[in-house]
Copies of this chain bind each other. A is one copy, B any other.
């Protein structure tokens, strides 16, 4: 997928010969897993629905809702997903879109666990968390719990300078002796671009790239668990974000990435909002997703000017200040512009 990333696609022991079967053509059939990153905004915090369980060998207890796809029971992939989510969490999904299909690239197989599928399809679902009710098995957790370096709402996260930068740079140094084919892009450059170091801009849409880089460098616990690279040679540092089971953190990274990208050209924020909201609440939700603060007046101009919302006529008091007009999503915008979305761009405060 990405020419900059090559390490992870490299050989890993072939552990996955179970679950194979042959059809009449002699072609192998494989089991398919469906995983859902179900995202909401709860108290101005971007949250994902996680299912908690006994820890795996990396100590991960959290995972995304998932289940196998069986074409016998479900006509479509998405249909299968919705059923599984309903069964596992009692949640009825609204908006859902497919993210990516991952082949088995060395995903760990836990002795006691369910045998993980060889191919897993990730989905992103956006929903309203409401007051957190209605989820029978699972809990809403900030996604920044798993990706603390992605949370720029209170400025640049300290973990980047204190942990990530030095450890990644050590990893880059360790590859310096150039006895072999050089990669297309040097490790140090990838680090710089991914984490906005040395004057490079922080790009909030590189969520997956960053996670993959940390994985490749052996700095996330999943890498250790999967038996990758010389993990932990950098000493006993605090873990970088909480790990998840299987490759679920990678799927969640893909989900965050997609959400951040899509919010800019599709009116998907409104899937996360109640029917009526103030512009400030809307802004807070957008900031929860994207990270950095936005200029309040310009945000208003943007959102109103694009015709994304319309006033309901009601006001909301108890805002802490002057009462605010209530707005609702203006559905007709879909018929007016080809790609309506919250076209914000990061302010310079998020750069360097």
Q: Name A residues whose Cβ lies closer than 8 Å to a Cβ of B.
A: 1-4, 9, 11-12, 14, 16-25, 27-32, 68-72, 75-79, 95-98, 100-101, 103-105, 114-115, 117-119, 121, 185, 189, 192-193, 200-201, 203, 205-206, 334-335, 338-339
Contact = CB atoms under 8 A, between A and B. Distances in A.
Contact of A76 (B76, B103, B200): B103
A295 to B, nearest CB: 20
Contacts of A104: 71, 75
A31 B20 contact: no
Nearest to A114: B25
Given A77-B103, A97-B1, A339-B203, A18 B29 contact: no
Contacts of A25: 19, 31, 68, 114-115
A339 B76 CA distance: 34
Contacts of A203: 338-339
> Which 8 A-B pairs have CB atoms at the shortest separation, nearest pair first?
A21-B21, A28-B70, A203-B338, A77-B103, A27-B68, A29-B29, A19-B23, A101-B101
Contacts of A76: 9, 103, 105
12 contacts: A4-B334, A9-B75, A9-B78, A19-B24, A19-B29, A24-B115, A27-B70, A75-B103, A77-B119, A101-B101, A185-B334, A201-B338
Given A20-B70, A25-B114, A201-B338, 8 more contacts: A3-B95, A9-B75, A16-B71, A19-B29, A20-B71, A28-B69, A28-B72, A75-B105
A121 B98 contact: no
Given A14-B75, A206-B338, A335-B185, A101 B115 contact: no
A205 B206 CA distance: 23
Nearest to A14: B75
A121 to B, nearest CB: 6
Contacts of A68: 25, 27-28
A209 to B, nearest CB: 10
B14 A20 contact: no
Contact of A11 (B69, B75, B117, B185): B75
Contacts of A4: 334
Nearest to A80: B103
